[in-house]
Chains A and B, each alone.
Chain A
Amino acid sequence: MNETGLNIAVLVAPVHDCRNPVLIDPVRKQVDPSSLHWILNPPDTIALEQALRLRDRIPRSGVRVVSVAPPSTERVLRECLAVGADELARLWDERIEEADTHSIAALLAAVIRSGPVDLVLAGWRSADMEHAQTGSIVAELLGFPQITCARSVEPGRDPAHIRVEKRIPGCLLAMSCALPALVTVEKGPPLRYPRYSDRRNAWRTPIRGLDLRAIGLTEAPQSRLRVERMTPPKPRRRSAIGDGANMPVAARLQRIMAGGAQAKKETNVHRCPDRSSTLKVIEHILKERLVVLPEKSGNGR
């Protein structure tokens, strides 16, 4: 902890908004980049909000946003400046196109090291890939203690500590940690909405893109994993357990054709509201293990 307040670095990633579909190139078996709809990673925005709140409470603090992201995502990254981040460091190089989580984390750590830092905040995982690794690896590489999946981050009992709340099954833990440290954030208040004038100013702020040379590397860190191929998911399974479920395919087809699309839609609707139909549904739920019946606590043998 130094006398100039808290230097906070926030790891932010632009991710694909998974409410929109992605296209997968059937030949290359990779995602078609033009189908990606970029947004700020929602858990990262919560981390950014926590950082901004800490800055508001601790005088002379600064928030620096660090991201490894291609130039095409600069538009969404500007949002971080609009809400009040003091600096945005965006690193990209053609050579890191196929980088895995570990190499990205190594690059982030290198960028963070290039400036003073007391606290690193990040979302607990990315909303598109859901690796949930980057934060922990960055902490290891920087040699910082870490707390993952926090619910709130607050100033600690003295300036050299922070106080973090974290939920584990059954209870909420109040934890403390000496600075410098890294905290990944799971939940919290949503990111503030920028004023129009701030947003307009953010548009005019030039962003300096960093490349590998700028952080003193000659080549990208070696990837430990490789994505062999991407595939579209299997279609949503609709299980028919009503009458006609065990019908031969031809007969079922015939019935669907006779009844049109409506009949098809209703194949899995059970029309006899008696005990046996309910039992069938329950049997199906249990068989497909849709529920894990909770174990009764306190019945140790």
Chain B
Amino acid sequence: MREIWTLVEVSGEKILRASQEALCEAVRQGRQLRVRTTALVLGSRIPGQILERLGTFGPDRVLVVDNEAVSSFSPNAYTDALEQLLAAHKPDVLLMGSSVLSREVAPRLACRLGCGLVTEATFLNPQDDGFLVTRSAFRPHASMIVSFQRQGLQIITLAAKVMDVETAGPFSYAIEYVTQPLSFTSDTVRVEDTIKEISAHLDLTDAEVIVAGGRGMQSKDHFDLLDELAEVLGGAVGASRMAVDMKWRPKECMVGMTGKIVSPGLYVACGISGAIQHVMGMQSSETIVAINTDPHAPIFRIATLGIVGDVRDVLPVMIESFRKAGAEAERQEYSA
């Protein structure tokens, strides 16, 4: 292996979280295997501070494609540009984060270049000529290990939130602009209209974090606490049947057999005893944090973490601490 590339997606002045994870993994592997790592950014007039920030992740080179065609959401243009770049530079591995764009671009690219693609990888095991990739299958019942059968480029997209993001530095890196002329095929896919900005009110089934309340919340007013916590964590608010029956929450929020069946990364059950009808709707959540006054509540049987206590005492502390942690993370980002 000589070179690992990472596709980095930038929106506005932010680097996509998934791309950061992919880049950090590439740098880690690159250091270990002593191969060159390249961060590839496509866009038009990308701000200089973004390129500088990419440097703090530690790639040997930041490669920039400055082109109007790839300035907005256009999988077709991305595919065309990447196809030509990869054919010209011939890196051994292309890593991508999991995103709306990479989901479409990666298979198209693999198809055009005649190379293998593994999506949603959770672990990369370096071999002589590439990676042996672990990914989940029949989730959550198995995982599989996949090898590439062809020489040449391997394209891998990484599952979200499995790789650590770390910045250290200062590193030495070079910023290069691609001078190679790129041609784009015409595409009949048009964006006619951007219908609406979806507000912070997330769909329950899509949310990665759900904060749910039940009878233990005691009154409608205390749901404000949940709203606040959900906002801090970037999640959605759910409710048990009890809370819906008491009209504390609309029916759309109900989690459980007759409501929505959800499977977020983190489920915070506040004042929910854990009746089986509710548990059916959320038991596949990755981590379940339960807060309840009754230490014998059935919710504690499935909870990963439990706090025996009153939600009215616990929630303000949680909100405050997460807020503090969030502010700290932001501060670190500034100094980075």
Of A42-50, A75-83, A190-198, A273-281, the one touching chain B: A273-281
Q: How many B residues touch the partner, as a band?
A: 35 or more
Q: Are B287 and A18 in contact (CB under 8 A)?
A: no
Chain B contacts for A271, CB-based, 8 A: 295, 308
B276 within 8 A of A: no
User: How far is B113's CA from A102's CA once the two chains are assembled, in angstroms?
Assistant: 12
A265 within 8 A of B: yes
Chain A contacts for B232, CB-based, 8 A: 293
**Could you mark each residue 286-314 of chain B with 1 if its beta carbon is under 8 Å from any beta carbon of chain A, else 0?**
11010001010000110111111110011
B110 within 8 A of A: yes
Using a CB-CB cutoff of 8 Å, which residues 187-227 of chain B contact chain A? 187-198, 208-209
B116 within 8 A of A: yes
Using a CB-CB cutoff of 8 Å, which residues 222-245 of chain B contact chain A? 232-235
**Could you mark each residue 160-188 of chain A with 1 if its beta carbon is under 8 Å from any beta carbon of chain B, else 0?**
00010101111111111110010000000
A97 within 8 A of B: no
Give the secondary structure class of A's interface: mixed
Determine which residue in A24, A176, A236, A285 has the highest number of CB atoms from chain B within 10 A of its CB, and name it: A285
User: How far is B106's CA from A102's CA once the two chains are assembled, in angstroms?
Assistant: 12
Partner of A137 from the list B17, B107, B149 (CB cut-off 8 Å) is: B107
Using a CB-CB cutoff of 8 Å, which residues 146-169 of chain B contact chain A? 146-150, 161, 164
Give the secondary structure class of B's interface: mixed
Contact sample, A vs B, 16 pairs, CB 8 Å cutoff: A128-B138, A132-B119, A133-B110, A136-B111, A146-B104, A169-B100, A225-B118, A227-B146, A229-B145, A269-B300, A278-B321, A285-B266, A291-B208, A295-B333, A300-B12, A301-B334
User: How far is B136's CA from A176's CA once the two chains are assembled, in angstroms?
Assistant: 34
Given contacts A136-B111, A168-B100, A174-B192, contact A270 B141 (CB under 8 A): no
B73 within 8 A of A: yes
> Closest A-chain residue to B299, C-beta based?
A269
**Could you mark each residue 128-140 of chain B with 1 if its beta carbon is under 8 Å from any beta carbon of chain A, else 0?**
0000100011111
Chain A contacts for B119, CB-based, 8 A: 130-133
User: How far is B188's CA from A176's CA once the two chains are assembled, in angstroms?
Assistant: 8
> Closest B-chain residue to A296, C-beta based?
B330
A31 within 8 A of B: yes
User: How far is B303's CA from A285's CA once the two chains are assembled, in angstroms?
Assistant: 13
B143 within 8 A of A: yes
A232 within 8 A of B: yes
Q: Are A170 and B197 in contact (CB under 8 A)?
A: yes
